[in-house]
Copies of this chain bind each other. A is one copy, B any other.
């Protein structure tokens, strides 16, 4: 029989997901007369903007993750549980998880987004996503294993497959990832693989539209393409992927790239929980919410961050899936939930756009802050400063800073270790099974 976690006397808010939005919301409920329960399938918060540096060996995974329990240290009204959510039971005001059923007064869905393969199963099976730490580590292992395998390849086609690295999607993640691989080639491979002919190592960035960084200014778009070319990345705009079988990437116009590494950053989709009103799911698998983040068709269910589509005239598909939007929604929803519980009027959400930035490589970044636009070394320092400040935890800031200073002066990347070998078709177990291990021992 499933364990049940019944409500007490205080109003209970259950938050699903410990990303930027969920954390901000939970923190703002500190010291309120409200019971807060946070559920996440991991016991840590992931700083997604730096996942690409973990994948390319620049940072250790532990540096960009932070234990959720530590974030809420001393917050007496909050209970944290590692579990995976199965479905919402709106009629019961309860949510079913792998460890039991939690009742709620208000439910907040802050589950974020995952890679969107747009229904192309073959690509999904063969390309590498990079939206979580285990995925970034898998990608790191694959990159390094391919380099090792290329040392002993006996035919040219196999060698080409191993040494062609393709990034699909020219948004910030795609630009940053292809730039980082190019720097790995430039500074690290010549030392690590003296027998390797570096001319055989090719990095491709494929983008369907006519320009990179579609959401940024024309200056930023032009300059990022220029920076990538300087680093030796082959930028292919107006190019769409037809199919990928793990060996050959075929473009819609018929061009073929032999490659065993395709990194997918071409789109994301919301992680929706089963049991919601089906009409609320809109474009991008996001959940349609009103101006106070309430999900369409529900009275006491809310969604914030990447999974939420708060549709406005300016943003007909909802606000962009970036950390500031999630944080602002989390903060506003906390205030509104306090108001709702206290029978006070709510305030509609207002988005404050903080601008956008992307880094291509050493001394090369692009920054748009409204009308202020700059590129190059100052933009690069700005990018580093903003990312360091946004990282959760002083230890993480310190360790990332030490690593970046070290890499800057040594032209090196510290952590190119194949710690868990990557096996295609054998991804990490997605769920931390919270049953006592003794029971698992029986199953296995």
Q: Is the CB of A425 within 8 A of B441?
A: yes
Would you call A434 and B191 a contact (CB within 8 A)?
no
The answer to whether the Cβ of A158 comes within 8 Å of any Cβ in the partner chain is: yes
Q: Is the CB of A44 within 8 A of B418?
A: yes
Chain B contacts for A195, CB-based, 8 A? 79
A149 to B433 CA separation, bound complex (whole angstroms): 9
Chain B residue numbers with a CB within 8 Å of A419 are: 44, 61-62, 65, 133-134, 137
Q: A420 an interface residue at 8 Å Cβ cutoff?
A: yes
Q: Among B158, B396, B440, point to the contact of A423 (Cβ < 8 A).
A: B440
Q: Across the interface, do A395 and B406 meet the contact criterion of CB distance under 8 Å?
A: yes
Q: Mark each residue of chain A from 57 to 80: 1 if its CB lies under 8 Å from any CB of chain B, else 0.
A: 000111101010110011010010
Report if A247 contacts B (CB, 8 A).
Answer: yes
Binary flags per residue of A88-114, CB closer than 8 Å to B gives 1, else 0: 000000000001100000000000000
**Which B residues touch A3, using CB under 8 A?**
152, 154
Is A417's beta carbon under 8 Å from chain B? yes
Interface residue ranges of A143-172 to B (CB < 8 Å): 144-146, 148-149, 151-154, 158, 161-162
> With an 8 A cutoff between CB atoms, is A415 at the interface?
yes
Taking a contact as CB atoms closer than 8 A, the residue among B145, B194, B434 that contacts A148 in the complex is B434
What string of 1s and 0s marks CB contacts (under 8 Å) between A165-205 and chain B? Answer: 00000000000000000000000000111110000000000
Tell me how far the C-beta of A400 lies from the nearest C-beta in chain B, rounded to whole angstroms. Answer: 11
Q: Are B424 and A431 in contact (CB under 8 A)?
A: no
A193 CA to B43 CA, complexed, in Å: 12
Q: Considering the chains assembled together, what is the distance between the CA atoms of A69 and B142 in angstroms?
A: 17
Choice from B161, B246, B415 contacting A62 with Cβ under 8 Å: B415
Task: Flag whether A369 is at the interface (Cβ < 8 A).
Answer: no
Complex: how many Å from CA A193 to CA B153? Answer: 51
Q: Nearest Cβ in chain B — how far from A61, in angstroms?
A: 6
Instruction: Tell me if A76 and B432 are in contact (CB < 8 A).
Output: no
Which residues on the B side are within 8 Å of A424 (C-beta)? Answer: 437, 440-441, 444
Report the separation of the CA atoms of residues A146 and B247 in the bound assembly, to the nearest whole angstrom.
41
Chain B positions within 8 Å of A137 at CB level: 419
Report the minimal beta-carbon distance from A154 to chain B, rounded to whole angstroms. Answer: 7
A436 contacts B by Cβ under 8 Å: yes
A373: CB under 8 A from chain B?
Answer: no
- Of B73, B406, B420, B433, the residue contacting A428 (CB under 8 A) is B420
Least distance between A130 CB and chain B CB atoms (Å): 15
**Shortest Cβ gap from A194 to chain B (Å):** 7
Across-interface contacts of A44 in B (CB, < 8 A): 417-419
Q: List residues of chain B with CB within 8 A of the CB of A311.
A: none
Report Cα–Cα, A148/B76, bound state, in Å.
17
List chain A positions with a Cβ less than 8 A from chain B.
Answer: 3, 42-44, 60-63, 65, 67, 69-70, 73-74, 76, 79, 81-82, 99-100, 126, 133-134, 137, 142, 144-146, 148-149, 151-154, 158, 161-162, 191-195, 246-247, 260, 395-396, 398-399, 402-403, 406, 410, 412, 414-426, 428-429, 431-438, 440-441, 444
A-B contact pairs, 17 of them (CB 8 A): A43-B148, A43-B417, A62-B419, A65-B419, A67-B417, A69-B193, A73-B192, A74-B191, A133-B419, A142-B437, A145-B434, A146-B436, A148-B432, A395-B414, A398-B402, A424-B437, A424-B440
Q: Top 7 nearest A-B pairs by Cβ distance?
A: A425-B444, A62-B415, A246-B441, A69-B192, A60-B62, A44-B417, A421-B432
